[in-house]
Amino acid sequence: MLVVMNKNARPEEIDAVVRAIEERGMTARPIAGGDRVSIGVLYNKGSVDPSPFLGMAGVMDLIPVTRPYKLVSREFKPEDTIIRVGDVAIGNGHLTIMAGPCAIESEVQALTIAEHVKKAGAQMFRGGAFKPRTSPYSFQGLGEAGLKILAKVREETGMPVVTEVMDEENFDLVQEYADVIQIGTRNMQNFSLLRRAGQARKPVLLKRGMSAVIDEWLMAAEYILEGGNTEVILCERGVRTFVKHSRNTLDLSAVPVVRRESHLPIIVDPSHAAGRRDQVIPLSRASVAADAHGLMVEVHHEPDKAMSDGAQSLYPEQFESLCRQVRAIFDISRHEA
Amino acid sequence: MLVVMNKNARPEEIDAVVRAIEERGMTARPIAGGDRVSIGVLYNKGSVDPSPFLGMAGVMDLIPVTRPYKLVSREFKPEDTIIRVGDVAIGNGHLTIMAGPCAIESEVQALTIAEHVKKAGAQMFRGGAFKPRTSPYSFQGLGEAGLKILAKVREETGMPVVTEVMDEENFDLVQEYADVIQIGTRNMQNFSLLRRAGQARKPVLLKRGMSAVIDEWLMAAEYILEGGNTEVILCERGVRTFVKHSRNTLDLSAVPVVRRESHLPIIVDPSHAAGRRDQVIPLSRASVAADAHGLMVEVHHEPDKAMSDGAQSLYPEQFESLCRQVRAIFDISRHEA
Amino acid sequence: MLVVMNKNARPEEIDAVVRAIEERGMTARPIAGGDRVSIGVLYNKGSVDPSPFLGMAGVMDLIPVTRPYKLVSREFKPEDTIIRVGDVAIGNGHLTIMAGPCAIESEVQALTIAEHVKKAGAQMFRGGAFKPRTSPYSFQGLGEAGLKILAKVREETGMPVVTEVMDEENFDLVQEYADVIQIGTRNMQNFSLLRRAGQARKPVLLKRGMSAVIDEWLMAAEYILEGGNTEVILCERGVRTFVKHSRNTLDLSAVPVVRRESHLPIIVDPSHAAGRRDQVIPLSRASVAADAHGLMVEVHHEPDKAMSDGAQSLYPEQFESLCRQVRAIFDISRHEA
Amino acid sequence: MLVVMNKNARPEEIDAVVRAIEERGMTARPIAGGDRVSIGVLYNKGSVDPSPFLGMAGVMDLIPVTRPYKLVSREFKPEDTIIRVGDVAIGNGHLTIMAGPCAIESEVQALTIAEHVKKAGAQMFRGGAFKPRTSPYSFQGLGEAGLKILAKVREETGMPVVTEVMDEENFDLVQEYADVIQIGTRNMQNFSLLRRAGQARKPVLLKRGMSAVIDEWLMAAEYILEGGNTEVILCERGVRTFVKHSRNTLDLSAVPVVRRESHLPIIVDPSHAAGRRDQVIPLSRASVAADAHGLMVEVHHEPDKAMSDGAQSLYPEQFESLCRQVRAIFDISRHEA
């Protein structure tokens, strides 16, 4: 960290900051600049809590230098993490497509969609049994009955299944049925749930929070790795901005940044980013072109009758076209690399 | 809800939308405009899930008309809710100041600060025992030991205490010690926790999510009221924007909007909005001037040594000055009204 | 437009709104909903200025229905606009790559880069002679000398040139030398400049404002079309958000939305969106995969010595690789369509 | 500036950065940290252009240390600037209220409103003659006829007038009539216009751009001061965020930050921030409570008939109440200070 002093900071103010740093067991190294002094904070383990210094007399600004995350960082583990779920691999060199309805509504619905998406080229099936809904009056998912349907889908199609867990109470239950456990956007900083996921025996798909910067997202993953679970898949799903023409703004530069900073795989959910069907295919193509390791896409055979998020669900034939297009783009990048 | 059709939507597309509306038990009322048709959706109970319609052929846009919340709305309950905690009242006609350290660090620390803030004019004491921290390596709070210190503070000073609950697992424990239970920014849409809070026997202080619009915030409160707990205090604490000179951007227009839309009291936390001490007093004054029902302010007698968020904690003498100033501003608005 | 009344709006308040609408020569059509009245505003020409109604007694909200733009809309002109500049076409069916340095620094620099980018596959040359700079102390461009160098580049390489105009004063000068006149982000709502561009005899490349919604961007283009110049190329270049890992957040869903709403071509500038070289290639691939009609990319043969924006400029060999990759992606989409 | 290297940066990469710094006439001071090297850039004049370094091998990040602005900074001129316009003073120790309609519509309208606001306590009159409008089809202002009406208002009431200039073409004309020349939000980075304003003989009111950070805003003012005009009044008017309940989000922490960083006066425009009348009074009170040096408020005697922005215009009696309230709040802060 760098403590930047005011131009007119007095020597005793500078000394006070130096002392405060050293009282915390770190080394202070004042740097005389052209017209002001900065103080480097050295030999600290990990990142420094900047709070105590910011309020001290003569201090103008604090500038973090060290990255706060460790276990998730590429500096800690240079080689890419590849996560294997049955026959499916997620990570560098692979393009993994997960697809299915927003919510599991019935066995017939789930199996119908599963067959469609498998045939089109999906490798994993997604579907919500516990649904986080803005309104307490909206459909909240089938709960355990939904999980049982997911197990049936896996049995019938051979596809591993990914589904969301909303709380610690149902964690064991979800873990029993799911192949990959999803932690949703609204829970990205539910630290109790992250700690529980650190104890899980299954890979975790961690969606980016609605307004999370990448450091916060990687720190949320760090909670899981720190707990002992090293299998985390990151999922970009758009961030909240002033823009109104899509539900969220897909932040595709997150893909190269995460790939540079971390060894963990990163996929993209274009359905929740867009919020409307007609943007899903272009954003899917763009995500793969930006080097995402996979996609998570909502598909419904009767979107007009879907119990949630029908507007963003693709028809099966659209999904088939999507798979064909993104595979072709993926082949180009593989060839190029 | 209003379904807006494309200019060139064909009659059969309009008919299909009308049918889809009526199949859901609502009334469709097509409105021929200058150059396009819109279809009003009437007689629905509460808000309509727009998803199924957005993807239909010929549909250009969907426009919600009805507010999604009920129990929290002023249309449902016109008179202001006043919440009483011991001798303290929170709500219209009162200015309630809650103050204390970010985290409870020790009995001495808590009692020292409590005496300061009580003398300066605070009516409630705040302090974290369970701390949500971005990093798993940061100080996470004293847990139950912290709660016991809070009980001691109440005993010694007579001030009710407010503290955060992070998960359902510790809900009973926190409820046993706290007078007001806080749900933090990162948990605003932790729906399992909100449902648990709906069962609580204590008032809940619900902070606004980092990028929540007011509808989402009020819907989070609706979860609590729907569960049977009608005592919710809303707390504006800044939203995340591109702005860098404060940690978050305090959204003071939220105060008049919430007061118009809802009967629930709304207070402001200027400390987390600012993230730096030198903005806390001006933002506190501004919050009271904007008609907030109270403030939640971080105070520490030795902020340079605080274990979290020292940079935004006021010195006791600053807090004393703050109380004096905001009381004077509050008196003006009372006089004016 | 739809005027939504409060649940408890009184009949005389509803009547007053109806009268206010009709006084403006429009038709008011009250719609009795389940628990509140809405009033449709019909037969208006174009969009209605909502201001007068929002403040009236009993009014809860105003909801625009009609799109505000006309000449730029696909409803007005269904077929795609293709703009021809010499042998180069910009618009549907084409992928047009414009490349060059941020600023023209010297004849040698410009010609060296121009040869590189032409060989790599660029069809147009970009370079700034008048530079909008945040600081008055930064290099402001070579002015007319820069324009002359651009003319030399065109002469030597045959590539048309695009360069920015910053004000009306230099409009004639820039128009004399440029093949395409760029209006930059910071001038997107400089309405005097837009009106001047409406009189221009050259195509205009209109960058999206830093926080412009699509309606505002299309309305800025409407100013130009309304003035008589129908050749406008839109350029997405990222919007300002809370995100810190890129200079701006590239909003790729703007591409399908603009293509649906308007007949004008839309290209993407990944260099200004990213602000750092290592994101430019992935974002370029993503842009073409999202169906942009072209790219505008910064290239410099010695980026470490560039007088502005060196950090985001590609090396010539990177640009060559970029061209190869995006052409391959473009071929897939053509094949698919 | 601080150049932060990757953990595994090689010595020759560090050397290359050091050389690049010194080739630019600055001093490089490498600082060995716990696990990575940072390089301080010293003795530079003003701020360093970070671009060339960001793309160099081994470089992880660049961190600006020095503030980019000079003439506007409090470090350059510690004492507050007070601007005098006739008998009116704007700056520390004063609370200056400017009020009037959004647009000048007629002499009767302007004089009627002027009398109202003067009586209520406004010291300056505002009104637009040239109006920047999103749509080319909206009312664009009366132009010179509007300026003449402003002169009449000044003559009749004695109040100085402030009005917007949109381009260099009309600068002389506006300057002839206005006492204070306003540069609007959309032109905050119209650098040609800022340079022209630097030559002006009248004070300039510079509104903050819709998504400008404070550094950019102060740099825009720096353009004016650098040109020789030291009389600049800054005006906060809200920034664009995801929030929908107000037109913009008023950023009141900008007030203490600007007051700390700069000697220039700062006022607030709550009308454009809110966009709706019912938020204007609370936000006005909050602005004065946050220590703004003044307010700019829209008032109209018949807002339902206003030609622009009627929804946010106060009725004269509301404005009278506003003046009374903010004067009382201002007296408290004066008393306190």
How far apart CA D149 and CA D130 sit, in angstroms, is: 13
Mean per-residue pLDDT, C229-243: 98
How far apart CA D113 and CA C298 sit, in angstroms, is: 52
> Nearest CA of chain C to the CA of B197: how many Å?
30
Alpha carbon B73 to its chain's center: 15
Asked if residue A171 and residue A41 are part of one domain, the reply reads: no
**Could you tell me if A5 and A17 are in contact, meaning their C-beta atoms sit under 8 angstroms apart?**
yes
Q: What is the CATH number of the domain that holds B26?
A: 3.30.70.1140
**Neighbouring chains of C at 3+ CB pairs within 8 Å?**
A, B, D
Mean per-residue pLDDT, B209-223: 97
Residue labelled with tokens 């020790």? B106
Mean per-residue pLDDT, C21-48: 72
Q: Chain C: residue nearest D193 by CA?
A: C167
Q: Chain B: residue nearest C43 by CA?
A: B34
pLDDT (0 to 100) of residue D334? 72
Q: What is the DSSP letter of C7?
A: T
In this complex, is the C-beta atom of B337 within 8 Å of any C-beta atom belonging to chain D?
A: no
pLDDT by residue (tens digit) across C87-145? 999 999 999 999 999 999 999 999 999 999 999 999 999 999 999 999 898 889 999 99
Which residues on D lie below 8 Å from B242 (Cβ)? 211, 213, 239
In this complex, is the C-beta atom of C190 within 8 Å of any C-beta atom belonging to chain D?
A: yes
How far apart CA D305 and CA D302 sit, in angstroms, is: 6
CB contact under 8 A, B286 and D282: no
Asked if residue D165 and residue D16 are part of one domain, the reply reads: no
pLDDT (0 to 100) of residue C177? 98
Residue C306: which of C159, C134, C112, C117 has the closest Cα? C112
**Which of residues 287 through 306 in chain D touch A, CB cutoff 8 A?**
none
Asked if residue C117 and residue C46 are part of one domain, the reply reads: no
The burial class, CB within 10 Å (0-12 / 13-18 / 19+), for C108 is exposed
> Nearest CA of chain A to the CA of C320: how many Å?
12
A238 in any annotated domain: yes
CB contact under 8 A, D286 and B290: yes
- Return the structure tokens found at A233: 């898949």
User: Measured between CB atoms, which of B34, B45, B65 is closest to C38?
Assistant: B65
pLDDT (0 to 100) of residue B46? 56
Q: Which residue has the higher pLDDT, A26 or C101?
A: C101
**Could you tell me if D129 and D146 are in contact, meaning their C-beta atoms sit under 8 angstroms apart?**
yes
- How many other CB atoms are found less than 10 A from the CB of residue A8? 11
Asked if residue B100 and residue B162 are part of one domain, the reply reads: yes
pLDDT (0 to 100) of residue C173? 98
Asked if residue D182 and residue D236 are part of one domain, the reply reads: yes
D238 in any annotated domain: yes
Residue C221's H or E segment, with its range, is helix C214-226
Residue B155: which of B129, B120, B181, B118 has the closest Cα? B118
Which residues on A lie below 8 Å from C208 (Cβ)? none
Asked if residue D139 and residue D10 are part of one domain, the reply reads: no
What is each CA distance from B217 to B49, B190, B208, in whole angstroms? Answer: 18, 12, 6
Asked if residue D55 and residue D24 are part of one domain, the reply reads: yes
Which residues in D43-178 belong to E strands, given as ranges?
A: 59-63, 83-85, 88-90, 96-100, 124-126, 161-164
Q: What is the CATH number of the domain that holds C128?
A: 3.20.20.70
Asked if residue B31 and residue B87 are part of one domain, the reply reads: no
Is 80 exceeded by the pLDDT of residue C156?
yes
User: pLDDT confidence of A310, banded at 50, 70, 90?
Assistant: confident
D76 in any annotated domain: no
Which of A49-58, B136-145, B198-207 has the least mean pLDDT? Answer: A49-58
User: Measured between CB atoms, which of A8, A45, A63 is closest to D2?
Assistant: A63
**Which of residues 313 through 332 in chain C touch A, CB cutoff 8 A?**
321, 324-325, 328-329, 332
- How many other CB atoms are found less than 10 A from the CB of residue D148? 15
Phi and psi torsions of D211, nearest 5°:
-140, 35
**Could you tell me if D53 and D17 are in contact, meaning their C-beta atoms sit under 8 angstroms apart?**
yes
How far apart CA B323 and CA B97 sit, in angstroms, is: 8
**Could you tell me if B175 and B137 are in contact, meaning their C-beta atoms sit under 8 angstroms apart?**
no
pLDDT (0 to 100) of residue A29? 76
Which residues on C lie below 8 Å from D47 (Cβ)? 135
D59 Cβ neighbours under 8 A, 6+ residues apart: D3, D4, D5, D6, D9, D13, D17, D53
Residue labelled with tokens 């900047």? A50
Asked if residue A315 and residue A233 are part of one domain, the reply reads: yes
pLDDT (0 to 100) of residue C62? 75
**Neighbouring chains of B at 3+ CB pairs within 8 Å?**
A, C, D
SS3 label, residue C142? coil
Is 90 exceeded by the pLDDT of residue C21?
no
CB contact under 8 A, B136 and A219: yes
How far apart CA D144 and CA D130 sit, in angstroms, is: 8
Q: Which residue has the higher pLDDT, D181 or B334?
A: D181
User: Measured between CB atoms, which of C34, C45, C242 is closest to B240?
Assistant: C242
Phi and psi torsions of B27, nearest 5°:
-105, 135
CB contact under 8 A, C38 and B40: yes
In this complex, is the C-beta atom of D34 within 8 Å of any C-beta atom belonging to chain A?
A: yes
pLDDT (0 to 100) of residue C6? 81
Question: Which amino acid does the sequence have at C33?
Answer: G
CB contact under 8 A, B190 and A191: no
**Neighbouring chains of D at 3+ CB pairs within 8 Å?**
A, B, C
User: pLDDT confidence of C3, banded at 50, 70, 90?
Assistant: confident
Mean per-residue pLDDT, B106-123: 98
B96 in any annotated domain: yes
User: pLDDT confidence of A5, banded at 50, 70, 90?
Assistant: confident
SS3 label, residue A250? coil
| Beta strands across the sheet bearing D37-42 | D27-32, D37-42, D2-5, D59-63
> Nearest CA of chain A to the CA of D240: how many Å?
7
| Residue where one domain finishes, among candidates C63, C94, C110 | C63
**Which of residues 69 through 128 in chain C touch D, CB cutoff 8 A?**
none
C70 in any annotated domain: no
**Which of residues 145 through 174 in chain B touch A, CB cutoff 8 A?**
166-169
What is each CA distance from C26 to A79, C22, C43, D89, in whole angstroms? Answer: 67, 5, 6, 46
Q: What percent of chain B has pLDDT over 70?
A: 94
> Nearest CA of chain C to the CA of A298: how many Å?
17
pLDDT (0 to 100) of residue A89? 98
C-beta pairs of B323-326 under 8 Å, 24+ apart in sequence:
B323/B97, B323/B120, B323/B121, B323/B122, B324/B121, B324/D336, B325/B281, B325/B284, B325/B285, B325/D332, B325/D333, B325/D336, B326/B95, B326/B97, B326/B284, B326/B285, B326/B287, B326/B288, B326/B295
pLDDT by residue (tens digit) across C274-290? 999 999 999 999 999 99
pLDDT (0 to 100) of residue D336? 63
A326 Cβ neighbours under 8 A, 6+ residues apart: A95, A97, A284, A285, A287, A288, A295
The full 3-state SS of chain B, as one line of letters, equals: CEEEECCCCCHHHHHHHHHHHHHCCCEEEEEECCCCEEEEEECCCCCCCCHHHHCCCCEEEEECCCCCCCCCECCCCCCCCCEEECCEEECCCCCEEEEECCECCCHHHHHHHHHHHHHHCCCEEECECCCCCCCCCCCCCCCHHHHHHHHHHHHHHCCCEEEECCCCCCHHHHHHHCCEEEECHHHCCCHHHHHHHHCCCCCEEEECCCCCCHHHHHHHHHHHHHCCCCCEEEEECCECCCCCCCCCECCCCHHHHHHHHECCCEEECHHHHHCCHHHHHHHHHHHHHCCCCEEEEEECCCHHHCCCCHHHCECHHHHHHHHHHHHHHHHHHHHHC
**Could you tell me if B204 and B217 are in contact, meaning their C-beta atoms sit under 8 angstroms apart?**
no
pLDDT (0 to 100) of residue A44? 59
How far apart CA B205 and CA B224 sit, in angstroms, is: 11
Q: For every one of its 337 residues, what pLDDT tens digit does chain D have, with 9 covering 90 and above? A: 778 888 778 888 888 888 888 887 778 877 766 567 778 777 565 556 666 777 778 887 777 666 788 899 988 899 999 999 999 999 999 999 999 999 999 999 999 999 999 999 999 999 999 999 998 988 899 999 999 999 999 999 999 999 999 999 999 999 999 999 999 999 999 999 999 999 999 999 999 999 999 999 999 999 999 999 999 999 999 999 999 999 999 999 999 999 999 999 999 999 999 999 999 999 999 999 999 999 999 999 998 788 877 788 999 999 999 999 999 999 987 766 5
Is 80 exceeded by the pLDDT of residue B337?
no
pLDDT by residue (tens digit) across A247-291? 999 999 999 999 999 999 999 999 999 999 999 999 999 999 999
The burial class, CB within 10 Å (0-12 / 13-18 / 19+), for A155 is exposed
What is each CA distance from C12 to C9, C59, C62, D122, in whole angstroms? Answer: 8, 12, 18, 34
Asked if residue B50 and residue B172 are part of one domain, the reply reads: no
C76 in any annotated domain: no
> Nearest CA of chain C to the CA of B78: how many Å?
11
User: pLDDT confidence of B66, banded at 50, 70, 90?
Assistant: low
Q: Which residue has the higher pLDDT, A279 or A20?
A: A279
User: Measured between CB atoms, which of A243, A253, A283 is closest to C246?
Assistant: A253
Q: How many CB pairs under 8 A join C and D?
A: 140
SS3 label, residue D309? coil
Residue C290: which of C247, C318, C258, C262 has the closest Cα? C258
Which of B18-22, C163-167, C269-273 has the least mean pLDDT? Answer: B18-22
How far apart CA D251 and CA D211 sit, in angstroms, is: 11
In this complex, is the C-beta atom of B333 within 8 Å of any C-beta atom belonging to chain C?
A: no
Phi and psi torsions of B204, nearest 5°:
-115, 135
Q: Chain B: residue nearest D214 by CA?
A: B245
Number of domains composing chain B: 2
Q: Chain D: residue nearest C186 by CA?
A: D189
- Return the structure tokens found at D178: 């206005």
Question: Which amino acid does the sequence have at D169?
Answer: E
pLDDT (0 to 100) of residue C138? 85
CB contact under 8 A, D249 and B256: no
A78 in any annotated domain: no
| Residue range of the domain that includes D299 | 83-336
C99 Cβ neighbours under 8 A, 6+ residues apart: C117, C120, C122, C124, C125, C126, C295, C296, C297, C298, C299, C319
**Which of residues 263 through 292 in chain D touch B, CB cutoff 8 A?**
273-274, 278-279, 282-283, 285-291
pLDDT (0 to 100) of residue D47? 58
pLDDT by residue (tens digit) across C39-74? 877 755 555 666 677 778 888 777 766 678 889 998
pLDDT averaged over every residue in chain B: 91
Which of A19-28, A48-57, D45-54, D179-188 has the least mean pLDDT? Answer: D45-54
In this complex, is the C-beta atom of C242 within 8 Å of any C-beta atom belonging to chain B?
A: yes
Which residues on B lie below 8 Å from D208 (Cβ)? none
User: pLDDT confidence of A25, banded at 50, 70, 90?
Assistant: confident
Which residues on B lie below 8 Å from C61 (Cβ)? 65
| Residue where one domain finishes, among candidates A12, A29, A63 | A63
Asked if residue A135 and residue A30 are part of one domain, the reply reads: no
Residue D182: which of D267, D94, D247, D107 has the closest Cα? D267
What is each CA distance from B141 to A96, B102, B128, B190, B202, in whole angstroms? Answer: 40, 10, 7, 20, 22
> Nearest CA of chain B to the CA of C296: how many Å?
25
In this complex, is the C-beta atom of B217 within 8 Å of any C-beta atom belonging to chain A?
A: no
CB contact under 8 A, A34 and D40: no
Q: Which residue has the higher pLDDT, B263 or C15?
A: B263
B39 Cβ neighbours under 8 A, 6+ residues apart: B2, B3, B5, B14, B17, B18, B21, B28, B29, B30, B31
- Return the structure tokens found at B130: 């369970």
Asked if residue C153 and residue C17 are part of one domain, the reply reads: no
pLDDT by residue (tens digit) across C176-233? 999 999 999 999 999 999 999 999 999 999 999 999 999 999 999 999 999 999 999 9
**Could you tell me if A257 and A74 are in contact, meaning their C-beta atoms sit under 8 angstroms apart?**
no
**Could you tell me if A21 and A57 are in contact, meaning their C-beta atoms sit under 8 angstroms apart?**
no
In this complex, is the C-beta atom of B311 within 8 Å of any C-beta atom belonging to chain A?
A: yes
Is 80 exceeded by the pLDDT of residue A336?
no
Q: What is the ipTM of this complex?
A: 0.88
B219 in any annotated domain: yes
CB contact under 8 A, C304 and D211: no
